[in-house]
Amino acid sequence: MELSADCEVLFKTMPARWNNMKTKVSLAKQRLGPRIQQEADRVTQDLKRFQHKLDALGQDIETSEVYMYKCTSHEAFRAIEHFNTDVQILQNEAKDLKELQELLETTVVDFSILANCEELLQKLSLVWQHVNSILKEQDTWKKEVWQNMNTEQLYRRTNHHLELLKALPEEVQEWDVYKHTLEAVNIMHLTLPLIEEISHPAMRTRHWNQLVRQTGGLLLVTQQSFKALTLGDLLAMGLESKFSDRYIIDIQSFEVRSARGTLRSFCCLRVPVSPCAERPLCLSACLSIWSLVHRFSCSVSLVRKSIRMGTPSVPFHKLGSMCLVRGSMW
């Protein structure tokens, strides 16, 4: 196959033209070399300055008060918003700098710092949303008189608070704000059983005197004035750490004795069986009564045993009331 005349000319002149092109490129590199290097140095300096901004932002976040419990919710949210604004500004700058760094085929900036800062701020925001909600709810409770509190509802809410905190990422559980908030929820949770104990009718003057001794004599109030305290006043006393097991068992033993007294009253019942009785009971009804007495007697025996072993785990205050309710049925 023969080439046309034009193709033949192009084919023969191609080596010369290629050499001419290489010469021009080489000359252009020589002329533009200093300028390219200068521009590369300028871009490198821009990248270094940007890296310094990233390091400064990361340092500012790490050393801020936003991790501390003493920081208020208002201050925390304001700081987080400020840091988010800084991250957004740097993300806009990073778009062009990423392309320039790729052209230089070098690594000056660690752009992953931006993503890490953004993720950290999201965790901080989530933590403070939970902390703010929990502390606000607790502040509302603390303003109420402790005897007016619905302990069952508080149990549900504190359990919910614990679930919220425990569901947070493991990383945040080392933060001061997390630890102190969890401690506040636990203190509230531990105080609720004590509220049920000291509000029970089994409380006597000697129990209140013992309570004064447990608080180191700092509780200079009477039984009546103590009942007028708010939940916040009660929490400030730190009763959850000062109540001894002996104090609680003393009250619970009184409740068990009351329950046993109720059972004895069942044993002394005279069952009317004459036809003229107002409410004669058949034999099956009598057997039902004695069956109830036997079951409650066994429960009381287990309670007394648990008290002696120092491991009371039964809702004692409900035992006596259950006996009374059963008795009222007859």
Cα dihedral 13→18→20→23 (10° resolution)? -160
The answer to whether residue 172 is domain-embedded is: yes
**Is residue 16 predicted with pLDDT exceeding 50?**
yes
What distance in Å separates the CA atoms of residue 271 and residue 166, rounded to the nearest whole number? Answer: 57
What distance in Å separates the CA atoms of residue 62 and residue 177, rounded to the nearest whole number? Answer: 14
The most confident of the ranges 27-31, 39-43, 132-136 is 132-136
Q: Could you give phi then psi for residue 145, rounded to 5 degrees?
A: -65, 135
The answer to whether residue 226 is domain-embedded is: yes
Same domain, 288 and 226: no
CB atoms within 10 A of CB 235: 19
Same domain, 177 and 258: no
Q: Which range marks the domain in which residue 256 is found? A: 245-268+281-328
Same domain, 161 and 135: no
Q: How many residues does the chain have?
A: 330
**DSSP designation for 69:** T
pLDDT digits (tens, 9 = 90+) for 86-124: 999 999 999 888 888 887 777 888 999 999 999 999 999
The answer to whether residue 95 is domain-embedded is: yes
CB 147 within 8 A of CB 198: no
What distance in Å separates the CA atoms of residue 302 and residue 319, rounded to the nearest whole number? Answer: 12
Average pLDDT taken over every residue of the chain: 75
The most confident of the ranges 34-38, 196-200, 285-289, 309-313 is 196-200
The answer to whether residue 27 is domain-embedded is: no
Number of domains in the chain: 3
What distance in Å separates the CA atoms of residue 189 and residue 157, rounded to the nearest whole number? Answer: 9
**Is residue 270 predicted with pLDDT exceeding 60?**
no
Angle (CA) 206 209 214, round 5°:
125
Q: Regarding predicted confidence, which is higher, 173 or 320?
A: 173
Q: What percent of the chain has pLDDT over 70?
A: 60
pLDDT digits (tens, 9 = 90+) for 293-312: 555 556 545 544 554 454 44
Q: Across residues 7-20, what is the average pLDDT? A: 79
Look at residues 78, 108, 141 and tell me which one is the last residue of a structural domain. 141
**DSSP designation for 3:** P
Same domain, 118 and 64: yes
pTM for the model: 0.62
Phi-psi category of 106—alpha, beta or left, where left has phi over 0 and alpha has psi -120 to 50? beta
Q: Could you give phi then psi for residue 224, rounded to 5 degrees?
A: -70, -45
The answer to whether residue 14 is domain-embedded is: no
